[in-house]
Amino acid sequence: MHCPRARSYQLFFYLIVTPLVIAALFVLFARRDDLILDRHHNLLELRHSTLRGRTRVQHKLEHLQEAELQSRKLRKENKTYYRVALVLNGGMDAGTHPITSSYTDGNGSKRAVDAINAWLAQDVDSGQQQA
């Protein structure tokens, strides 16, 4: 015979405790990182948003030299993880700054680095040529 009290504890755990733990983890770890590159305003802006708040860091776009791929190899898993970093060559924050604090697997970070560097390499003529 099953004990009715044990059954009520199980029900409490599955209906109350589990959703609360999942919600707490979501609040702690949900994060959105945005990179805005604006040639018109000479602006580079990094926005980090969580459910607990937002931060925003701005630099002059002219100080952005390139994006680079940073890697971290875990020996235990024999796997390499990547993240995107921005190299600033001027201003008070000159140096290398990662866009995110975490590393991920897959080729998403490489694609992002390639896209940022391709955008930076575009020859943009702000003046209209008159014939």
User: Which pLDDT value is given to residue 29?
Assistant: 77
- Give, for 28, the enclosing helix (H) or strand (E): helix 18-29
DSSP conformation class of 1? -
- Residue 125: its pLDDT value, please? 63
If DSSP codes are grouped into helix, strand and coil, which group holds residue 68?
Answer: strand
Mean pLDDT of all residues in 60-85: 94
Q: What is the CA radius of gyration of the chain?
A: 23
**CA–centroid distance for 11 within its chain:** 38
- DSSP per residue, 72-103: EEETTTTEEEEEEEEEE-SSTT-EEEES-SS-
pLDDT at 126 (0 to 100): 53
Backbone angles phi, psi at 60, to 5 degrees: -75, 135
Quote helix, strand, coil % in the chain, to nearest 5: 35, 40, 30
Distance CA 16, CA 21 (A): 9
How high is the pLDDT of residue 11? Answer: 78
pLDDT tens, position by position, 2-58 = 566 667 777 777 788 888 888 888 777 788 899 999 999 999 999 999 888 899 999
pLDDT at 44: 96
